[in-house]
Amino acid sequence: MPKKTKHKLAASREKASQGTRSGRPKRGGVGAKSGVTGTLSICLLSPHPFVLENLRRMLERPKFSVHSERVEYLPGQGGGLPALPGADVFVLDANGPLRAVVALISRVKGEQPKSRVVVVSDELTEEAAFPLIRLGIRGLLRYSDAPTQLAAAVMSVNGGGYWVPRLLLSRFVFGILDQSRLPVPGETRKLSPREQQVHEALLENLSNKEIAARLNLSERTVKFHVSNVLAKHRLRRRADLILQNYHARPFDAGGGKPTGG
């Protein structure tokens, strides 16, 4: 090889080596928003210390900086923390009353508008998932899938993508397309006081057993009232009732309660 070519090759290698040692992250790489070069900051939110520890173990990665915050799911209080820490991605344990979970998500989006949110739950029913998707949540996964999928979901959502079960997302989209065929709350028949109580419990995504315990009724009686509530709204599924309510009365980001009349 000619001497001139050897000198050019050596100079190129030296320049590349200097660039690597400088520690400059690749453009668009992980942690572009984070305060630490190349590190993605993640905040875990849950009322359960055991869950926080499990989620932390699932996210033990060299480029992840993970910290935990214990929250209390009290409706309208947004988790009870005086101030939320800054993070690129919040991973939220959604096993709590739906309104309380929504209030906390609204608070995260209000205080940390540039942050992304991934929600983890025991079950991803339409009744629970649809309101969260309407809030702009891009990441939803079950606890059973979290050990193998949580890290990938965090990366995907942080990059602007989605991590939602395909069937669930498809049903949500079809539900939005069918909104024009759903009656609005003002068009429904008036509910009795007991039916109104059941209606509010349904919007909190409570099961028949949980409604029965709250109202001191038998599950059979609750099932009867649930059927009446759905019939008066001209609906067949609880998911449609929740979707209709969120469409007509969006949650206030400040307090987690519905706005409008």
Q: How many CA atoms lie within 13 Å of 229's alpha carbon, on the beta-carbon side?
A: 24
Instruction: Report how far apart, in Å, the C-alpha atoms of 61 and of each of 41, 64, 130 are.
Output: 11, 5, 31
Give pLDDT tens digits for 73-108: 765 555 566 778 889 999 999 988 878 888 888 888
Residue 76's pLDDT is 54
Give pLDDT tens digits for 173-198: 666 555 555 555 544 568 899 999 99
All residues at 6 or more sequence positions from 102 whose CB lies less than 8 Å from its CB, including other chains? 131, 132, 135, 251, 256
What's the average model confidence in pLDDT over 47-61? 93
pTM above 0.85, yes or no: no
180 versus 70: which is more confidently predicted? 70
- In the block, tokens 């005086």 appear at 82
Q: Which of 34-38, 123-127, 140-144, 160-164 is predicted least confidently?
A: 34-38
Residue 78's pLDDT is 53
Residue 237 above 60 pLDDT? yes
Residue 15 above 90 pLDDT? no
Residue 260's pLDDT is 35
List, in order of start, the domains of the chain with CATH numbers. 40-176 (3.40.50.2300), 181-248 (1.10.10.10)
